[in-house]
Structure 1
Amino acid sequence: MRNTAARALLRQGLTIPELGRVSHDVIRPAFNAINAKRPQCLRQRGPEISSPRLPLDNLRAFHTTTAAYKSKPGKAKDTKSKKNNNSSNGAAATTETENSHDDDDDPNGPKHPPANPENPLDFADVLSRMRRHDEYFRGALKKLKTGGRFNPDILGTLRVQPDRKNSAVTYPLRELAQVSSQGGRIVSVLAHEEAYVKPILSAVQASPDFNQQPQRVPDNELELLLRIEPESREDLLRRVKATCNDWRDRARATRRWREKHHANWRKDGGMGPDLKRAAEKELDKVVKAKMVEIDDAEKEALKAAESK
C-alpha cells in the first residue's frame, strides 16, 4: 500500500522537495527512471532534483571499498625534492668530470679509441688515455717550476661554488673571473659578475693553499687582491711528489679499466685463457714503461724545486 501511495505522489511531483534530504547516490537512479515515464508537461513543471549531479564514474556501490585518495602534498613535495637533489648531484658530478683531466668516460672530452675485442693485444685505447693524463700532469709540474702558487694559472684552477643554496656545481676560478699578476706577490682577481665575488671569497678562504682574506679594491667592487706568501722549499717538494703520485694513480686506474674488459671478454667466451694472459702481460709492460716515465719527470721537477 505504501509503495502504491509513493508512486502516486511521485507522479504528481509532490515529493520532489523532500528528495534533497536523501543521498542522491541512492535515489537518483530510481527517481530518474520514474521521471522518464512522466508526461512531458509534468517533467517541465518542476526540477528533477535539488542536489547537484555527480559524474557517473564517481558513483560507487555500498559493498565496494573506499575510494583511493591522492598522495599527500607533503609526500609529493618530498619526492619532488629528492628528484631535484639527485638531478643537482648528477649535474654536479658531470661538471666535475668535464672540468677535470680524467675524462675517460666524459662524453664531451676527447674521443678515445674503444677497446677492441677482435685484437686484445691492441692497446690504442690505453695509450690514448695515458697521453691525456700526461698533458695534464706535465702542465701541472711546469707550473710548479715557474713559481708554484705565484703562478696565476694555479690560482685559476681553484674550484668555486657560485650557488651554495641551490646547486653543488663548482667551476674553476678562471671561468668566473680574470686572474692576473700585479707584480711581486700581488695577484688580481676580477670577477665577471658581482654575484661571483662572495663565492670567490669563500673559496679562497677555505683553500689550504690560499688561506687568507682577499682584499677588496675600493674603486672596483668586482676586483679582489691576494698577497701570496712564498712557498718554502719543503712545501714545493711536497707538491711535486703529490702531483706525481696522482699521475701514477691515473695510470693504475687505466690499467684496471682495461683489465675489466679482459675479464668480460673471457666471460663471454671471446677470449681464451692463453690470450688473456698474453694481453695482461703486454698491458703490464705498457704500464711499467709509463711508471718509468713518471719517475723521470718527478726527478727533474724535484731537482728544479731544490735549486730554488
Structure 2
Amino acid sequence: MTARTSATTVAALLRQGSATFELRSILQIGTRPTAAAATRAATSTTPIVTPRNLSHYRSLHTTPIWLKKKSREEKEQARGRPAADSSSSTSSGGASSSQHPTITPEDALDFADVHSRLTKIAAHANEHLKKLKMGGRFNPDLIGSVKVQPDRKDSSVSYPIRELASVIPKGGRTISLLVHEAAYIKPIMTAVQSHRDFNQQPQQSPDNELELVLKVEPEKREDMAKRAKAVCHDWRERIRDVRQRRDKLHNAWKKDGSMLPDAKRKADTELEKVIKAEVAKVDAAEKETIKAAETK
C-alpha cells in the first residue's frame, strides 16, 4: 500500500468517525459537537452506529421523565381545592370527627360527643316548639315549608312553597301566596289542600291571577298541646338513642380490656347525670309550650 493510499484511508476513517460521533450526539443530546470533540471521537474505540442498531438510541424529547408520585394533598391543590384535613376522617362510630368529637377509653369521663349530639337534637326540637308558640298552624314559615310536586307524574321532584311563591301575611289569619309562575298555581293548591295542618284550598284573588289567599283557621288549644307533647316525646326518644350509643361504646371498651370494670361503672354514673339533666330541659320546654298554648 502506498503512502498516498494510506493517507486517504486514514482521512476516510477520520471522517467516518466524526460523522458517527456527530450522529450520536444529535440523537442523544440534540446538539452538534465541536470539531475538537469530533476528532477525539474519531480516534476512540466507540463502535460505529449503523441503521440496524439506531433503534437502541432514543432522543431526549422522547425519553420519559420519572417523577415522584404526587400525594393526595398535592393533587387536590393542583385542582384548586384545599387539602383534606386529617381530622375529618370517619370514626369507628360512623360519624366523622368534624361532626362530633371522638372519645377514647383514656377520656371515658369526657362526654363531649354526647353533648354535641344532644345540642343538635335540642336545636331541632326547640325550633318546632318555637313555631307552635308563635301560632301553631298560622305560621308563614310552616306554610312556606309545605312540599309541592309540580309534575304529578314525577313524585321524586318536589319544592317547598317558599321557592315557588312569596308567602306574605296580610293580617289576622290571612296569608297571601304570590306565585312566581302560573304553572305552579294548581300544584300549590293541591299541596295545601292535602296537607294535614290546613285541609283547605287557597282561593285565587280576583285582582291578581297569580295570588292565592289562604285563611288559616285558629288551632284548638288541645291540638297545640298535643303537638307539643309529640315533639317532646320524639325529643326524649332521640336522647335515649344517644344514651344507648355511648353505652355500647363503654361495653366495647370493657370487652376488649381497654376499660376496667370500676372505670366503666364511674363512666356510666356520670353519663346518667348528663342524660337526666337533658331530660329535665325537655320537661321544662314541654311545660312552657303547653302553658303558652293554653293562654291563647
Shorter-chain TM-score tier: 0.5 to 0.7
The partner residue of 1:168 within 156, 162, 165 is 156
| 1:117-172 CA distance string (max 9 Å, x none) | 44122111111121122222223222222221112122223334445534535554
The partner residue of 2:264 within 244, 267, 276 is 276
Q: Within the alignment, does 1:306 sit opposite 2:287 as a pair?
A: no
Pair 1:247–1:173, CA change in 2 (3 A):
farther
Higher gyration radius (CA)? 2
| Letter in structure 1 aligned against 2:145 | T
Alignment RMSD, CA only? 2.9
Match of residue 66 from structure 2? none
Pair 1:172–1:240, CA change in 2 (3 A):
same
Gaps of 5+ in 2: 1-92
| 1:70-121 CA distance string (max 9 Å, x none) | xxxxxxxxxxxxxxxxxxxxxxxxxxxxxxxxxx9888xx823234444122
| 1:41-78 CA distance string (max 9 Å, x none) | xxxxxxxxxxxxxxxxxxxxxxxxxxxxxxxxxxxxxx
Q: Within the alignment, does 1:213 sit opposite 2:201 as a pair?
A: yes
Structure 2 distance, partners of 1:174, 1:269, is 54
The partner residue of 2:243 within 234, 255, 267 is 255
Pair 1:247–1:169, CA change in 2 (3 A):
farther
Could you list the runs of 4 or more consecutive aligned residues of structure 1 that deviate by over 6 angstroms after TM superposition? 104-107
Match of residue 132 from structure 1? 120
Aligned length: 203
Q: Determine helix, strand or coil for the equivalent of 1:148.
A: coil
1:184-263 equivalence runs, <5 A: 184-218=172-206, 220-263=208-251
Q: Determine helix, strand or coil for the equivalent of 2:137.
A: helix
Q: TM-score, normalised to structure 2's length? A: 0.59
| 1:7-40 CA distance string (max 9 Å, x none) | xxxxxxxxxxxxxxxxxxxxxxxxxxxxxxxxxx
Match of residue 92 from structure 1? none
- Shift in Å, 1:260: 3.1
Pair 1:183–1:123, CA change in 2 (3 A):
same
Match of residue 138 from structure 2? 150
The partner residue of 1:159 within 107, 124, 147 is 147
Pair 1:199–1:304, CA change in 2 (3 A):
same
| 1:152-193 CA distance string (max 9 Å, x none) | 122223334445534535554334433221111111223445
Q: TM-score, normalised to structure 1's length? A: 0.57
Gaps of 5+ in 1: 1-103
